[in-house]
Structure 1
Amino acid sequence: MNLNIVVIGLSVTSSWGNGHATTYRALLSALARRGHSVTFLERDVPWYRDHRDLTDPDGWKVELYQSLQDLPRLFGADIRNADLVIIGSYVPDGIAIADWVTSHARGVTAFYDIDTPVTLAQLEHGLDYLSPAMIPRFDLYLSFSGGPALAMIEDLYGSPLARVLHCSADLDLYQPRETPELWSLGYLGTYSADRQPQLERFLLEPARLLTEDRFVVAGAQYPEDLTWPPSIERINHLAPRDHAQFFSAQRFTLNITRADMRALGFSPSVRLFEAAACGTPVLSDHWPGLETIFVPNSEILVVSTPQDVTTILRDMSEDTRRTIAERASRRVRRDHTPDHRARQLEEYYREALTRRSRSARQAHKNTPTEAVELKLGLS
């Protein structure tokens, strides 16, 4: 089964200030390796244009467009003829694009929600990229979140088929690197107001207490007036090609979950998989469903207080640290690679196609009876 796939997403050319690019790159490369033809369509916007870090897509292609009107004019035939058309969350003019795609695409249509907890929390208040009325029009809803989110999407919003498609770690990029240990604990993530209190609790406060240790925070968009303890090094932006070296230079790395993700649960961050693949043990806040991704205190270390963090940094033996890291790395390779996600997507495509074909046959079967009833005035 070799599919012609078109993806319309937020960005794949730039990882600056977003987690979408690395997720798409890993998935699309895996799909291409499995023999599928993949095209990614991205709106050309200044903030990604100025920070592009994708130079050579691996077996798939990227096309940039300038405006909403460009899509039907330049790519109308591609979208109509594709076996599968995927629209991602946070795409500019996403609702209008979804309306047009679901009306004109002949193949299976899917919405890929890389921001499911945010979407479900804000959907009734109005979003730029998705409306409740659009959800039933997609054949398939791909959700970054598993667990109860899938039933909500189907039962409350009428999706004919909601399935989980988590992020993953690209093992070509994310693997242990031989590098000197520079930091006891680090964090990689774009600034978010709802994550900042957790960063204060689990990294800044331990940094103030363990003054002999070194810490690091990498990520864009942090306010300039933030005060950092002297033991914390700041890196404004880190390209994906540098992530593995960054993780490998830490004894431990920190995962912080956004408030909507913690509330909904079952929403792993891409950094969990990437750090684990690099052989760096992860300290994480707790959220429902974490145990379905990694085994707590065996493959991942769950922390609730700053004291939990300082105790681990100060007292955990090197043998225990390495054992936890190795278990997490094995888990990623067993369950959370791009190839796993590509095979899942193929399965979901077949499921959606079968469901759509069955619905079409049922509609065709019912048509003659309905026509007769109308002609005889019985309806």
Structure 2
Amino acid sequence: MTRSLDIVFIGLSLSSSWGNGHATTYRALIKGLRQDGHRVLFLERDVPWYASQRDLASPDFCDLAYYGDIDPMIDLHRDRLRRADAVIVGSYVPEGVALIDKLDKLEPKGLCFYDIDTPVTLAKLDRGEEEYLALRQIPIFDAYFSFSGGEVLTRLEKRYGARKAVALYCSVDETRYANTGEPACWDLGYLGTYSPDRQPTLDRLLLEPARRLPSMRFVVAGPQYPAEIDWPANVERIEHLAPADHASFYTRQRFTLNVTRSDMIAAGWSPSVRLFEAAACGTAVVSDFWRGLDELLPAGEALLVAQGPADVVAVLTELADADRIAIAAAARRRVLSGHTGAARAAELAQTLSKLPANRAYERISA
């Protein structure tokens, strides 16, 4: 175990999981840090969208503070930001570029970036879009923690100038994600916010199989789906599920579908948090394929890969229950042994504990 650390996160959201996967990722990670004796302050921009949909307004595993404008927030927390062992800014933080510049001038002991959207971030930067991170800022971070591993880490260092690129995959809170014992009521389900680049895969791997198997039951949970989508009659829609309901949702499926965004497929080594959550609940996963998937959950052993609707139909109609249960159990073992919030917290703390004690700052222009 590393020494006790004082860490400040400035992230998209911890309080609300509505329409984002960041909140559950931060929650599992920070709970793991707390269990290991580390101290955490999470700073969240107080925006109406999340303020009206908070499902964890007062966490018991860290300090959570909301802020409006950047300058008053930095003034209020200046001492904590400067004395913390690390200040970690997350992706998609509002006014992220300005925030990073101001934090750099503050000269914290360690300044890091946690990219929960690495392939999307790099695609944006390649197009000249600097929504929450500027290309010029990547070299200033003591560590660039990436949701993607594999070849992406080399790209971050060689092409984008990251000092130290480290994989910090998503994780699952094993105390909240476990089989509830409820009987299955859906044959195949999917949990995820609507995304235009994921929708064709969802159409191919869930909606079309539903049309071909009218006697089976399907479900799609998540917000922001356009009204014009033609849902088959045997596909149930759930607008939003709070994290407290996820375990029950996964347990009540025979199989769950994992769909990956196109930028993440192109990058590879980019597992979704839903992949680990479903596996922790003992639900067999059907997934699209991307490089690095076999290193996490080997196809045929710990999950099933589908390329088209015929593959899904075959899984739903031909795979024996004993085989489905064995695949789900293998995935659960792998996830609980290496992809929990506690495991990620240990990885993060180990990296932070090895950061240079006296950072030589390379000033960036404001």
User: TM-score, normalising length from structure 2?
Assistant: 0.96
Aligned to 1:82: 84
Matched, 1:269 2:266: no
Matched, 1:69 2:85: no
Question: Any idea what SS the aligned residue of 1:352 has?
Answer: coil
Matched, 1:234 2:237: yes
**Bigger radius of gyration, 1 or 2?**
1
RMSD, aligned α-carbons: 1.3
Give distance in 2, aligned partners of 1:330 and 1:269: 17
Q: Is the 8 A contact 2:180 2:248 kept in 1?
A: yes
Q: Is the 8 A contact 1:82 1:105 kept in 2?
A: no
> Structure 1: which 5+ residue stretches go unaligned?
364-379
Matched, 1:224 2:227: yes
Render the CA deviation track for 1:34-63: whole Å, top value 9, x for unaligned: 111100000000010111000441321100
Render the CA deviation track for 1:113-138: whole Å, top value 9, x for unaligned: 00000011111322211011101111
1:335 to 324, 334, 338: 338
Q: Is the 8 A contact 1:81 1:105 kept in 2?
A: no
Question: Any idea what SS the aligned residue of 1:35 has?
Answer: coil
Matches within 5 A, 1:41-190: 41-124=43-126, 125-190=128-193
Give distance in 1, aligned partners of 2:301 and 2:341: 24
Aligned to 1:205: 208
Aligned to 1:243: 246
Give distance in 1, aligned partners of 2:61 and 2:290: 37
Matches within 5 A, 1:30-45: 30-45=32-47
- % same residue: 51
Q: Is the 8 A contact 2:142 2:164 kept in 1?
A: yes
Task: Report the AA paired with residue 41 of structure 2.
Answer: T
Q: Is the 8 A contact 2:58 2:64 kept in 1?
A: no
Task: Report the AA paired with residue 263 of structure 1.
Answer: A
Q: Is the 8 A contact 2:89 2:100 kept in 1?
A: yes
1:303 to 306, 319, 329: 306
Aligned to 1:375: none
Aligned to 2:352: 349
Q: Is the 8 A contact 1:29 1:57 kept in 2?
A: no
Give distance in 1, aligned partners of 2:75 and 2:325: 55
> Structure 2: which 5+ residue stretches go unaligned?
none
**Greater RCO, 1 or 2 (C-alpha within 8 Å, sep 6+):** 2
Task: Report the AA paired with residue 180 of structure 1.
Answer: P
Q: How many residues align?
A: 359
Structure 1 stretches of 4+ moved >2 Å: 350-354
Question: Any idea what SS the aligned residue of 1:12 has?
Answer: coil
Question: Any idea what SS the aligned residue of 1:185 has?
Answer: strand
Render the CA deviation track for 1:137-156: whole Å, top value 9, x for unaligned: 11110000001111111111
Task: Report the AA paired with residue 115 of structure 1.
Answer: D
Question: Any idea what SS the aligned residue of 2:98 has?
Answer: helix
Cα offset for 1:217?
A: 0.1
Cα offset for 1:107?
A: 1.2
